[in-house]
Structure 1
Amino acid sequence: MRVIYIKRQTKNERRYSKKMGMFSPKVTYIKKYIAGIPYKTLHKYRETYYGQVKCCTECNLAY
């Protein structure tokens, strides 16, 4: 087993933006793991309905 590795995980989240309102995109997280424990999130992005890739800082999490 490697000590340090990077893993990509995709999951659905509920988000809110002023232009679109509530929506649930697939959000992809790229995380760095050290000995199997998540250490740091390097990047997170989402794919729009039209196939564009956007950063997740534009919209807020909605619970």
Structure 2
Amino acid sequence: MRIIKIKRRTVVEKRYAKSMGVLITQVTYIKKHILGMPFKTLHKYRKTYYGKVKDCRDCVLFV
């Protein structure tokens, strides 16, 4: 059994940017799991309609 695993998970989220307004997009999280429990988020990104990959820091989570 492996102690450390890297897992990728895609979730649909609402995001908000000043230039675009509310945006519903798929966000992919890459997390490190130790003994099956999530430990740290290594990276999160989203894909645009045109296929470009963008970091999630430019859009904040819409609450």
Report the TM range for the smaller structure's normalisation: over 0.9
Q: How far apart, CA to CA, are the structure 1 residues paired with 2:23 and 2:57?
A: 15
- Greater share of residues in strand: 2
Alignment of 1:28-39 (within 5 A): 28-39=28-39
How far off its partner does 1:19 sit? 1.0
TM-score (norm 2): 0.96
Superposed CA deviations along residues 17-58 of structure 1, whole A, max 9, x for unmatched, are: 011100111000000000000000000000011110000000
- Listed as ranges, the gaps of 5+ residues in structure 2 are none
- The alignment partner of 1:27 has SS state of strand
TM-score (norm 1): 0.96
Q: How many residues align?
A: 63
Percent of residue pairs identical: 60
Alignment of 1:15-54 (within 5 A): 15-54=15-54
Structure 1 runs, 4 residues or longer, greater than 4 Å off: none
